[in-house]
Amino acid sequence: MPKLKTNKAAAKRFKVTGSGKIMRQKAYKSHILTKKTADRKRRLGKPVVVDKTNLKTVKKLLGR
């Protein structure tokens, strides 16, 4: 079985933690920020764990 190639686009978007969880950034923090509250913008800046429904796909893209 040959080695799996890492999808470079996915590698830039997802990070693997020491415990093996896959983290991602939230969307909607790049522009039109004036109408969003400070609380909402602060929440959007924090990384979150990838949902279990997408985990299999993301792991495959990362070559894991």
> 56 pLDDT exceeds 90?
yes
Domain residues of the chain, as ranges?
Answer: 8-61
Give the model confidence (pLDDT) of 14-53 as tens digits. 999 999 999 999 999 999 999 999 999 999 999 999 999 9
Which one-letter amino acid corresponds to residue 14? F
For domain 8-61, give its CATH number from 3.40.109.10, 4.10.410.60, 3.40.50.300, 3.90.1150.10: 4.10.410.60
Contacts of 33 (CB under 8 A, 6+ apart): 41
Residue 2, pLDDT score: 87
pTM of the model: 0.84
Report pLDDT for 3.
86
Rounded Cα gap, residues 4 and 62, in angstroms: 9
